[in-house]
Amino acid sequence: MAGGGALLVIGGENAFSLGGYRGTPLEEVLPVRLSSRVPDFIGGLFRAQPVALRHPLVQLYDTPEQSRAAWEALPELDGYGQFVAARPGAAVLAAHPRARTEDGEPVPIFAIRDYGRGKVMLVSSDSTWRWRLGGALDWRVSGFYGRFWTRAVQYLTGSLELSKVKFAPLPDRLSPREPAVVRLRVFDESFAPAAAASTELRVLWTAPDGQVREAPAKETGPGAYSVELTGLSTGWHRLKAVARCQGKAWGEDEVRFDWVGAAPEAPMDRKWLRRVAEATGGTFTELSAADAGALLEKLSPVRRQSEIVRRRRLWASPWWLAAALALWLCEWAARRWRGWP
């Protein structure tokens, strides 16, 4: 198990303490500490409440809000395991809305834990099939069952990206501009942005010549950092980020990119440009040594210019005269009809 295996434990009436797990090596692997209460599997309907909304095993839709709405619309589960507490380092994904552990915390329904290089997942209820059957008529959650268990298998087999330290994707070759900016993020156990106060972050920069130095990481937001690199040499560069959270190893990530440097300037035929300027009545000026004020004085003054495209004289048009006469006749007729002078 510790060598890189995976373990999925699903609860039920014959699991946990009633199943003989308590006091065995299996209990030491689980994300929870088993209770000595008998029975330790409690029946009754409930709806699991997500705890770590940003965790890839919980955020099964595009946004945390969509995922929360799907969890809240799920059919109820039936029965759950009673535990002493979640183990330190375990991630509780969803919990019972009312029941409490012997330590007073919400009872974990879905929890995961790393054990050495292996992965352990606990599902304390054996009724997730109710999601499949009960959600068949609701389009919002009709695919939730498949999404959840597909993601669970990906987690257990190691194909699900769960790195808590992650560089933003980079192209193989960066544009030749300095400083080169590389961004990375650090997440906590619930995959929310990790607090800077509890995070120690080091970024090691390996240049093409093999020289290794530390690159400062500047915090740009909650759990977000920016690394600016200057003085780059042509060739492949490697960045490695190593994070510690609350004094313990948290994760690392690595990224490589090819720096091609700035493109050389094309040679300029200054003699030819001077001849062309003299022949056309212009001037040739080196911008690198030019005085901006002197160049502005040579510019032509601003001139206001307007152009008349067409003139229309209303009284020169017979149609406008006819319209005006018609209006006058209408007014005269109206006044005569009403008896006005």
Domain spans of the chain? Answer: 6-157, 165-259
Other C-beta atoms closer than 10 Å to the C-beta of 270 total 10
Mean pLDDT of the chain: 87
Is the pTM for the entire model greater than 0.85?
no
What is the band of 265 on the pLDDT scale with cuts at 50, 70, 90?
low
Q: 299-306: long-range contacts (C-beta < 8 A, 24 or more apart)?
A: none
The lowest-confidence range among 125-134, 159-168, 184-193, 288-297 is: 288-297
Task: Indicate whether 264 pLDDT > 70.
Answer: no
Measure the CA–CA gap between 183 and 186, rounded to whole angstroms. 11
Does residue 90 contact residue 190 with C-beta atoms inside 8 Å? no
The number of C-alpha atoms within 13 Å of 134 and in the hemisphere containing its C-beta is 12
Strand partners, 258: 173, 236
Residue position matching structure tokens 């879905």: 110
Residue position matching structure tokens 């290089």: 117
Higher pLDDT, 153 or 169: 153
Higher pLDDT, 250 or 46: 46
Measured CA to CA in angstroms, residue 65 lies from 61, 288, 319 at distances of 9, 55, 67
Q: Which 3 state secondary structure label does DSSP give 91?
A: strand
The pLDDT score that the predictor gives to residue 49 is 95
What is the band of 285 on the pLDDT scale with cuts at 50, 70, 90?
confident
Domains 6-157 and 165-259 share a fold: no
The pLDDT score that the predictor gives to residue 215 is 92
User: Which pLDDT tens digit goes with each residue over 18-59?
Assistant: 889 988 999 999 999 999 888 889 999 999 999 988 898 999
Q: Are strands 6-10 and 49-50 parallel, antiparallel or unpaired?
A: unpaired
Residue position matching structure tokens 């929360």: 68
Calculate mean pLDDT across residues 138-157. Answer: 88
User: Which pLDDT tens digit goes with each residue over 233-243?
Assistant: 888 999 999 99
The pLDDT score that the predictor gives to residue 286 is 80
Task: Indicate whether 110 pLDDT > 90.
Answer: yes
Burial letters 101-129, b for 16+ CB under 10 A, else e? beeeebbbbbbbbebeebbbbbbbbbbbe
Residue in 74, 120, 64 with CA at minimum distance from that of residue 97: 74
The number of C-alpha atoms within 13 Å of 321 and in the hemisphere containing its C-beta is 5
Percent of the chain whose pLDDT exceeds 90:
42
Task: Indicate whether 261 pLDDT > 70.
Answer: no
Calculate mean pLDDT across residues 201-219. Answer: 92
CATH code of domain 165-259: 2.60.40.10
Instruction: Please name the fold of domain 6-157.
Output: Rossmann fold (3.40.50)
Measured CA to CA in angstroms, residue 43 lies from 9, 13, 198 at distances of 18, 9, 40
The pLDDT score that the predictor gives to residue 197 is 84
